[in-house]
Structures are given as C-alpha cells and as structure tokens.
Amino acid sequence: MVDLSVWVIVLSLPLYIVAFILYVVRGVRGATVFDSTISIDALCYDVVAFMVILSVYFKSYLLLGSGILMAL
C-alpha cells in the first residue's frame, strides 16, 4: 500500500508545474511592472511550498528550514 503523502505529492506536482509556468509567463508578459512584481512574488511563495512538499517526501528537515527562511 502506498503512503498517503506520496499520493498527495504525485497529485500536487503537476499543479505546481503549471502554476510555475503561468507565473513565469505573467512575469515576462506582464502588462505593467506591478503585474510582473506580483507574479514573481507569487512564484517565490510557490517555490517555498514546493520545497516544503519535497521536504516531506524526502524526510529532510534541511529543505524545510531553508523554505521557512526563504518565506520570511
């Protein structure tokens, strides 16, 4: 039987990849400077959430600590 955390990670990874791509497109093609700034800020928060998910998957506290520091 596969662990629940593995299923959550497998199902959430494509969503984060799509979000990364959309944020990068919005950052490059933003109508204004504010649109680009908000998209890059949201991309940083998604990277932190992605690092937390990976730290749960790999059972590594190092990724969790660096993700928390990056979020601050």
Residue 12, both tokens: 């959430």
Which pLDDT does position 61 carry in this prediction?
80
Q: What is the DSSP string of 21-37?
A: HHHHHHHHS-SSHHHHH
d(CA 59, CA 20): 24
d(CA 38, CA 26): 9
d(CA 43, CA 24): 8
Report the predicted TM-score, pTM, of the whole model to 2 decimal places: 0.74
Which pLDDT does position 2 carry in this prediction?
66
Q: What is the DSSP string of 4-16?
A: HHHHHHHHHHHHH
Which pLDDT does position 18 carry in this prediction?
92
pLDDT tens, residue order, the chain (72 aa): 567 777 878 888 888 889 899 999 988 887 788 888 898 889 888 888 888 888 888 888 887 788 778 777
